[in-house]
Amino acid sequence: MKLIRLKLDVPFRSLPAGFEIDFLRDWDFDRCFEFHPYCFAGRNGSGKSNVLEALVAIFYHIECIHLEYRPEGFEYDKETNPDAFRAESCTPDAFELEYFIPISFLSQIAPNSQGNERPCRIRIVKKANTKPEVLWLNEKEFKNDDYKSLVRNEVKSVLPRFILGYSSGRNEILSLPFFKMRFIHFDEYRAKVVMDDHYSRPEGRMVYLDEQFSQAILICHFLFPSAPVIRVFEEKVGLRGIQRFRIIIRRHHRYPLIEEYLKTHSETQEEPSAGQSVELTSKLSALIDKLTQCSTAYFEDYSSYEDGEGYDLYLDYWVNDATKRAFQVHFGEASGESPEVDKAKSALNLFQSFQILLTLNNYLVAEETKDELYQSSSLYVNETISTPASHERITRFKEGELIKDGVTGPLYIKSLSDGEHQFLHTIGLCLLYRHESALFLLDEPETHLNPDWRASYISTLRAALEADAATKNVMREVLLTSHSPFIISDCRKENVLVFATNPETQAVTWQRPDFETFGASANAITMKVFGQIETIGDYAMSTLNALRKRLEEGEDPDVLIKEAGKELGDSVEKVLFVNQAIKKKEGK
């Protein structure tokens, strides 16, 4: 998908009513198949992350309206659950959002559109206290019909394939809708288990990539090592593969059938007995069997459970060509396009399987807590929803050992530096979904990176998302926030939005730079975008200002020049001071 326009008709966080962004202007529409990430820049607190948060909130709301499954505590009831989800109430509660999607998304409702290369233009409109409308604006170009409000199944066809979120910090406004969807995924799976219904994948398309997915991302890429993965991981980080890893799955946690049965069945149907229960991973037996058949060795440990009520399944993998072939047999995808595309889709297929297993780690969260979360606009999810201890998790990865240039001993995934983790996590995420028409929302993805990796981050991102011919015309959108002039220097000025806060009204504004950012120096961007005139730190500047003051008070210029040379490193400010001292000495 490609964003065209976002307008908020009510305030949202620091964004005022009437706040509007034109992503693609009318004269830019031909660029909708090109890949150009948007960079939101500005000082801390300037509101740039609030745009990402608004987009997440909007897509979460639209997604929830059209889900086939919604948890019981999620549903609105005027008397018993007045704060629950309502299609008519959203935060923000009035907005317009427009974007392009490929026509292939609508093949079911526009079967005659095959071969048409034009994108579909979608507009979502919500007025306060009313249900949003989803409109196909250029429908007449494909179906000879005037545009109308799309119905349930049609709406699900016009949403991005995935909405993917990442935050380097603790931006819980951004993560809150993702966490809500994560618990919907869990409740959906549990309902399928209890009612013995078929289950394949979560219905929702929102995925938040936090630290628990880091090992899964690396494992998937190294089991299906495509050329782009090798190029990025080897060239940038020196990683050549994974030597071994372990997966532990606890097959013991049971849910009583009677409670769930009474919630969803009529009184005329026969009830299960009070003692009946179902094991949580039972719907994933086929998936777990696949992982077992791919393992080098496995064993079942019953020692932690009494009376044979469950066991811990240990799956050990020594990664070699045979291991990769096994995963190819059980998780491989055939796209019919190229081996590189097949590897990418296979890696994503395996990752989505891991995602299901990791979702089960939410089993410990009490129903009351989940109900509160579904109704919450709190910014403190991590304090409300605790992460289960390692030994309490249904699924966990252990002992992932990497192969890295220059390292002879064991190198465990968790021993990588913060910068390595962040680089591999964010670029690895983009590599996994590079063939999907997705919306990537990356909040400060470069904070832990060294200057070299920051300078090459956009080019690496491009290498990931434009890895092969099959990715060239995939309509995906990447929005990232950043304080790095190196990131901005690799973005065209039409894709750089500089945010600022009005000091009097505190309202957020934005503008595109009045200079070409692409290829501009870090110093020029620091001055023009962030308003930082000096190129040295405040403490060093105070030392230089003290030297200037002493010069003005009549001290010997030669002494001060010598002192500056001894105490200060090379900088524009130092050169200017030395020139000032020389002129003073010459009486100019």
Tens-place pLDDT, residues 510-524: 999 999 999 999 888
Q: Sorting pLDDT into bands at 50, 70 and 90, what band is 123?
A: very high
User: What's the length of the chain?
Assistant: 588
Number of H helices, E strands in the chain: 20, 19
- Interval 292-305 mean pLDDT: 93
Q: pLDDT category, 5, cuts 50, 70, 90?
A: very high
| pLDDT average, residue stretch 212-222 | 91
What is the rounded distance in angstroms from the CA atom of residue 326 to the CA atom of residue 22?
A: 48
What average pLDDT is seen over the chain? 87
Lookup: tokens for 114: 């095959």
Does residue 579 surpass a pLDDT of 80? yes
Tell me the average pLDDT across 440-458.
93
Show the beta-strand stretches assigned E in 9-80.
20-22, 38-42
**Residue 328 burial (CB count, 10 A):** 16
Averaged pLDDT, 327-342: 88
Contact 32, 64 (CB under 8 A): no
CB neighbour list of residue 374: distance below 8 Å, 6 or more residues apart: 71, 73, 74, 84, 85, 180, 183
Tokens at 480, concatenated = 């990232």
Q: How confident is the model at residue 533 (pLDDT cuts 50, 70, 90)?
A: confident
Specify the pLDDT at position 275: 54
Supply 541's token pair: 């500047």
pLDDT of residue 62 exceeding 50, the answer is yes
Of the pLDDT bands very low, low, confident and very high (cuts 50, 70, 90), residue 268 is: very low
Task: Compare 331 and 103 and report the one with higher pLDDT.
Answer: 331
- Which range has the worst mean pLDDT, 42-51, 122-131, 461-470? 461-470
In the predicted model, is pLDDT for residue 486 greater than 80?
Answer: yes
**pLDDT tens across 135-155, in order?**
988 877 776 666 677 887 788
Name beta bridge partners: 123.
Answer: 98, 135
What value does the mean pLDDT take over residues 7-36? 90
Percent of the chain topping pLDDT 90? 47
Question: Which range (64-78, 260-274, 567-581) has the least confidence?
Answer: 260-274
What was the pLDDT predicted at 263?
53
pLDDT at 258: 52
How far apart, in whole angstroms, are the C-alpha atoms of residue 75 and residue 81?
7
More confident residue, 262 or 224: 224
**CB burial class (10 A; 0-12, 13-18, 19+) of residue 68?**
exposed
Comparison of pLDDT for 212 and 450, the residue scoring more: 450
- Cβ neighbours of residue 583 closer than 8 Å, sequence gap 6 or more: none
Bridge partners of 412, per DSSP, are 401
User: What pLDDT, on a 0 to 100 scale, did the predictor assign at position 34?
Assistant: 84
Q: pLDDT category, 438, cuts 50, 70, 90?
A: very high
- Mean pLDDT of the region 324-347: 90
pLDDT at 378: 65
Q: Which residue has the higher pLDDT, 260 or 421?
A: 421
Instruction: Identify the pLDDT of residue 334.
Output: 84
Largest CA distance in the chain: 105
- List pLDDT tens digits, range 24-55: 988 888 888 888 999 999 988 889 999 999 99
DSSP H helices in 195-303:
214-223, 227-232, 257-264, 285-294
pLDDT digits (tens, 9 = 90+) for 83-100: 889 999 999 999 999 999
Q: Buried b / exposed e across 187-217, counting CB within 10 Å, b at 16+? A: bbbbbbbbeeeebeebbbbbbbbbebbbbbb
Residue 109's pLDDT is 59
Cα–Cα distance between 18 and 100 in angstroms, integer?
22
pLDDT at 210 over 50: yes
Listed residue (198, 214, 288, 200) closest to 250, CA to CA: 288
pLDDT at position 479 over 50: yes
E strands in 405-545: 411-412, 439-443, 477-482, 496-501, 508-511
Residue 471 phi/psi, 5-degree rounding, is: -95, -5
Distance CA 24, CA 162 (A): 20
pLDDT at 276: 76
Q: For residues 423-450, give the mean pLDDT.
A: 92
Provide the 8-state DSSP code for 294. H
Q: How far is CA 332 from CA 202, 207, 344, 351, in A?
A: 20, 22, 9, 12
Which segment, 174-188, 264-278, 304-318, 347-361, is predicted with the most confidence on average? 347-361
pLDDT over 70 for what percent of the chain? Answer: 90
Q: Across residues 428-433, what is the average pLDDT? A: 92
Q: What average pLDDT does the segment 225-233 reach? A: 86
Q: pLDDT band at residue 306, thresholds of 50, 70 and 90?
A: confident
DSSP H or E segment with residue 247: strand 239-251
Rounded Cα distance between 316 and 292, Å, is 9
State how far the alpha carbon of 481 is from the alpha carbons of 48, 288, 447, 510, in Å. 7, 38, 10, 13
DSSP 93-148: -SEEEEEEE-GGGGTTT-GGGTT--PPEEEEEEE-TTS--EEEETTTHHHHS----
The pLDDT of residue 274 is 46
7 pLDDT higher than 80: yes
Highest mean pLDDT among 5-19, 62-76, 229-243, 530-544: 5-19
